Amino acid sequence: MTLSSLSSHELDFIDDDEFHEECGVVGIWTTQDAASLTALGLHALQHRGQEASGIVTYDGNQFHTHRGLGLVGEVFDDPRVIASLPGGMGIGHNRYATTGETQLRNVQPLYGDFEFGGFAVAHNGNLTNAQLLKQSLVRRGCLFQSSTDSEVFIHLIAISLYSNVIDRFIDAIKQVQGAYSLVALSKDMLIAARDPLGVRPLILGKLPYIQDENSWVVASETCALSSMGADFVRDIEPGEVIIIDHDGVRSIHPFADNTSSRFCIFEYVYFARPDSVIENKSVYMARKKIGAELAKESHVEADVVVPVPDSGVPAAIGYAEASNIPFELGIIRSHYIGRTFIEPTDQIRNLGVKLKHATNRAVINGKRVILIDDSIVRGTTSKKIVEMVRAAGAIEVHLRIASPPTQHSCFYGIDTPAEEKLLAHTHSIDEMCKLIGADSLGFVSADGLYRALQEDKRNNQNPQYCDACFTGDYPIPLTDHDMQLVKSK
């Protein structure tokens, strides 16, 4: 079966054609209600993972845990659940399963009882040497309870010969490779850490309305702070470990010689919520600027600029402003289609029900349309949308993409298909355009993307971001993946 042979009806139902977000983490250090605050933060980070959610709190005597499959609102819908999580310190996690199947035992935060007391960890990112570490840990007698890569942190901390929690934690993170933004909770402290290249975001905030001055929040994105009424303090730096305890906040840099940021450029394009601010850059404004660069680089005469909602919207506004072509909502997205939507019967399938998107004929009919989307993964969604826009009366459909062609898989915590399933890996832009059925197809260049983010241009000697899914330049070794390749030869 080829892409070009599929009808749009069939395309509605075949496998997902989107990148999937990684995970979201929250940590709270205050005097009360850590569980409610953590749940509010996780709710704001729902876009980073929708398959499972969990919270661990500590009340000064013991740890309390609740984890479940589903959205935050489903897992914590019963007030008795939050009431069963007392304490002023807590961490939470939203999961999209990048490794390990979605089962309750894989839902984070992970918790272990150590000789120094309880310890819970929540991880956003993906480790690239987890399998290698796991093999050696299993040989040493460690019993893994889950299939998630994050569990190696628990075992590395458990077997560390250092005597205190912080030294054990640092000992563990020095052995892992990959992307991680971590929050961890012991009975004495909240710990937050980013990998040496800071691939995934992590920020520090403060709870101004709580009388105790020593009330802190860590979270994946600033949008979580708004939902908790917290103030932004700063981004946690690449390679930085933050320790929050009864004496306040302190910062250590265990990788002092080896830190230069390679933040995931795709967070700006797609993953982060548009109202978040990362590295002092508004994600929304960055997306608008990417759209403006796209307009400069691949202008085409047209009557209307139409975003593919939701993530294409800010780039389409930027494109429309830069090209002086009117912006219109020509595609409406249904927000009520969940991942667990039951596959419809053939009868319904034949009705051609469009599950996710519907066209707004009033602004498309008889028009030359520029469609703006954030990325092309397998191309199935793009083909379907172009077909729908034509069916709504468009006389020309020009597809513009607010990222360079995605030619490579991500190994740092974003769920992407294998390389050979990425349309841009196997096809030229002209071939992609033909398969998708657009009149023309254009992508913003890597330099255009860097310019939009206020960097001069991509510099191979010193790239400021991880952009490996466009360039194949992986900044962190892919140890497990390379071992797999060697084995399969």
Which residues here bind ligand SF4, judged by CB under 6 A? 199, 264-266, 410, 412, 414, 466-469
**CA–CA distance, 38 with 74 (Å, rounded to integer):** 15
- The dihedral through the CA atoms of 228, 233, 235, 238 has a sign that is negative
Task: Read off the amino acid at residue 61.
Answer: N
Strand locations in 79-177 (E): 89-95, 110-114, 117-127
- The dihedral through the CA atoms of 79, 84, 85, 87 has a sign that is positive
Provide, rounded to whole angstroms, the least separation between the CB of residue 263 and ligand SF4. 8
Quick one: which of 317, 296, 290, 314 has its CA closest to 305? 317
Provide, rounded to whole angstroms, the least separation between the CB of residue 472 and ligand SF4. 9
- For residue 344, what is the DSSP state? P
Q: Is 256 exposed, middle or buried (0-12, 13-18, 19+ CB in 10 A)?
A: exposed
262 CB neighbour count, 10 Å cutoff: 24
Kindly write down the DSSP assignment for every residue of 377-424, as one continuous string: SSSHHHHHHHHHHHHTT-SEEEEEESS----S---SS-B---GGGSHH
**CA–CA distance, 488 with 2 (Å, rounded to integer):** 27
Q: Which is nearer to ligand SF4, 88 or 379 (CB)?
A: 379
**CA–CA distance, 277 with 481 (Å, rounded to integer):** 33
Would you call 23 a catalytic residue per the annotation?
A: yes
Give the strands of the sheet with 368-373, arranged side by side: 304-307, 368-373, 396-401, 440-443
Provide, rounded to whole angstroms, the least separation between the CB of residue 411 and ligand SF4. 7
**CA–CA distance, 262 with 257 (Å, rounded to integer):** 15
Angle at 179 between CA 197 and CA 488, to 5 degrees: 120
CA distances from 370 to 234, 272, 382, 402 (A): 38, 24, 13, 12
The three-state secondary structure class of 272 is coil
Provide, rounded to whole angstroms, the least separation between the CB of residue 396 and ligand SF4. 31
Cα Rg, the chain, nearest whole Å: 23
Q: Which is nearer to ligand SF4, 256 or 418 (CB)?
A: 418
**CA–CA distance, 488 with 266 (Å, rounded to integer):** 30
Q: Which is nearer to ligand SF4, 184 or 469 (CB)?
A: 469
Q: Which is nearer to ligand SF4, 55 or 294 (CB)?
A: 294
The three-state secondary structure class of 359 is strand
CA 137 to chain centre: 28
Q: Which is nearer to ligand SF4, 241 or 410 (CB)?
A: 410
Quick one: which of 458, 429, 430 has its CA closest to 446? 458
Residue pair 137/157 in contact (Cβ under 8 Å)? The answer is: no
Q: Which is nearer to ligand SF4, 380 or 406 (CB)?
A: 406
Provide, rounded to whole angstroms, the least separation between the CB of residue 412 and ligand SF4. 4
Q: Which is nearer to ligand SF4, 35 or 265 (CB)?
A: 265
Backbone angles phi, psi at 383, to 5 degrees: -60, -45
Q: Which is nearer to ligand SF4, 86 or 405 (CB)?
A: 405
Provide, rounded to whole angstroms, the least separation between the CB of residue 467 and ligand SF4. 5
Q: Which is nearer to ligand SF4, 201 or 309 (CB)?
A: 201
The three-state secondary structure class of 257 is coil
Catalytic residue selected from 23, 223, 264, 433: 23
Query: E strand or H helix at 157, and its extent?
Result: helix 151-159
- Cite the active site residues: 23
